[in-house]
């Protein structure tokens, strides 16, 4: 059984529901900060695009089999995202983002293609780009940690 279409429908429904819920958020800010609904709307838009991609692609005759190594990598990435959420609260955007992007690179690259300095470059580039986009261009506040 090909699970791409049900997964795509689930992602599409989750994305649309997330956008609807995030659009209901009302917080008055003292400057032109886009507010707390910007990040959830961006994330849910990505879910909608991925869901549509899964629904609209032609299914193959053979189904994809999930090997245990891929399952472990996926669960590790999910754990890393939970770590990122906790780290945002504890140490703020910059340290949390550097470590999370490096960790995601380390997991995605796999043992054959891992190079520590390349991971550091990716982490610095992604963190710097998000800083430029949200803090500088959109004048949004990035999370500050309670420890630093």
Give the model confidence (pLDDT) of 1-31 as tens digits: 467 788 888 889 999 998 998 888 776 666 6
* Number of folded domains that form the chain: 2
CA distance 111 to 47: 29
Q: Other CB atoms closer than 10 Å to residue 139's CB: what's the count?
A: 12
On the question of pLDDT at 146 being above 80, the answer is yes
Q: Which of 33, 65, 97 is the last residue of a domain?
A: 65
Which residues 6+ apart lie within 8 Å of 98 measured at CB? 123, 124, 127
Of 48, 65, 82, which residue sits at a domain end? 65
pLDDT of residue 62: 66
Q: How far apart are CA 40 and CA 23, in angstroms?
A: 9
Confidence of residue 68 (pLDDT cuts 50, 70, 90): confident
Q: Is the pTM of this model over 0.75?
A: no
Does residue 79 sit in the same domain as residue 40? no
| Domain interval for residue 32 | 1-65
* Domain limit, last residue, from 32, 65, 98: 65
104 and 31 within one domain? no
Task: For the chain, give the percent of residues with pLDDT over 70.
Answer: 86
Residues ≥6 apart with Cβ < 8 Å to 49? 15
């Amino acid at each position: 059984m090909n699970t791409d279409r049900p997964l795509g429908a689930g992602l599409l429904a989750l994305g649309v529901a997330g956008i609807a819920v995030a659009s209901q958020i009302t917080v008055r800010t003292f400057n032109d900060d886009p507010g707390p609904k910007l990040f959830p709307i961006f994330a849910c838009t990505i879910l909608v695009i991925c869901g549509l991609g899964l629904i609209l692609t032609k299914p193959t005759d053979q189904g994809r089999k999930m090997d245990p190594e891929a399952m472990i990598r996926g669960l590790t990435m999910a754990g890393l995202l939970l770590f990122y959420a906790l780290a945002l609260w504890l140490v703020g955007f910059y340290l949390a983002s550097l470590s999370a992007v490096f960790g995601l690179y380390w997991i995605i690259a796999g043992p054959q293609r891992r190079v520590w300095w390349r991971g550091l470059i990716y982490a610095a580039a992604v963190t710097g780009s998000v800083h430029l986009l949200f803090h500088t261009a959109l004048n949004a506040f990035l999370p500050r940690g309670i420890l630093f």
